[in-house]
Amino acid sequence: MMSSIFKNRFYIWSASAKRRCKAGVALRSVGMKAKFILFFFGFIFSYPLFLVHASFPDLGVSVRPMGMGGAYIGVAEDASAPLWNPAGLIQIRQRELITTYSALYVGLNAQLFTGAEDRLGYHFVSYAHPIRTSKDVVAVSWLFFDSAFYDEQTYVFTYAKRLTPQLSGGVGTKVLHVGIASNEYTRADPDLANASLAQTGATIDLSLLYALSDTVQIGISGENLLPTEIGILQTEDLPMKWGVGVAHRTENWVRVIDFVWRDQRVNAKRDINIRLGIERWLFQRQVGIRAGYNVRTITVGASYRYGKRTQAQLDYAFLFPIGSISDTFGSHRVGLSVRF
């Protein structure tokens, strides 16, 4: 991001990755703390994933849901449910493990002050375990965003319970940690060296899933309901988020629409998103194809399943941003899930 600490100018890549903003700052005349703050905020506001929020952006989790445009609140039928609709865990009949690897905004890799390129990673692991003949399900999940010197981690502990034959409820406790790795700037400045460049907070999620019929169900989710501070070098509260999803499912088709509202303004407008997704299973539900749309991305995805009693599933999703981000080959997600 900063080409060299010895140069008297540095450049911050814009989110479109097309223009550079010259900051005529004589680094020799600026204190070490000011240089680090300039570097840190240059990083935060230059990456596309921080266009909406500086910390814990709403990128969605797992692979299958993102192949459907992130429209998953009304489905939430696998071990990724804790981050979409915790109540959906009640649909799980077997123990399930999901792992996801994500390469974000391929081709849009910012250059660090060392001259190296910073590649963004976004990874997810979740394990769900039914108990009491699926009347209760518990899950443990881990979501991890990483770059060269900045990371965000979310740990989720989830419990879902069937309340009536048609209604289930879920609660999730989230522990969030954000931190900046030690570097020459933080080590050289006495104040920053002694300061904590990390923040940890906790919050809760609540949700419901109601089956209107054998093929239609409605999900309602509320996230980050307990206020928590997660900012570094500035005050920042984790915004509350509400979502409603309606899913129509048959043996081989899934059609879903989500409406999501997040308690924060983006470009002076409310952060409201509509997500649409469709999925088709073929060859006795061994192969799945899907597509989706929301106000930020167009997505496609596919799955392959192997096995019956013990089943492995390989998922892939391609997400192409629309709107303000260009000069990228999109984001790619690959996942492996096992049911046993």
Report yes or no on 4 lying in a domain: no
Q: What is the pLDDT of residue 110?
A: 65
Q: What is the pLDDT of residue 185?
A: 67
Q: What is the mean pLDDT of each run of 10 residues along the chain (340 residues)?
A: 28 32 34 49 45 60 96 97 97 96 79 65 94 87 86 95 96 92 71 76 97 97 92 80 97 97 70 95 97 94 95 96 76 96
Cβ neighbors of 115 (< 8 A, separation 6 or more) are 3, 4
**Nearest-5° angle of CA 282, CA 283, CA 285?**
65
Give the global pTM. Answer: 0.81
CATH number at residue 66: 2.40.160.60
Q: Which residues pair with 204 in a beta bridge?
A: 173
Report yes or no on 2 lying in a domain: no
Q: Residues 7-47: pLDDT tens digits?
A: 222 222 333 333 333 333 333 334 444 544 544 445 444 44
> Three-class SS of residue 176?
strand
d(CA 198, CA 73): 31
Report yes or no on 238 lying in a domain: yes
How many C-beta atoms lie closer than 10 Å to residue 313's C-beta? 21
Q: What is the pLDDT of residue 277?
A: 98
Q: What is the pLDDT of residue 61?
A: 92
Q: What is the pLDDT of residue 238?
A: 87
How many domains, in total, are found in the chain?
1
| Distances, alpha carbon 25 to alpha carbons 12, 14, 28, 114, 162, in Å | 12, 18, 9, 18, 60
Q: What is the pLDDT of residue 112?
A: 62
Q: What is the pLDDT of residue 229?
A: 85
Report yes or no on 3 lying in a domain: no
Report yes or no on 270 lying in a domain: yes
Q: Which domain holds residue 162?
A: 10-339
Q: What is the pLDDT of residue 137?
A: 96
Q: What is the pLDDT of residue 53?
A: 43
Whose tokens are 């509400």? That residue is 242
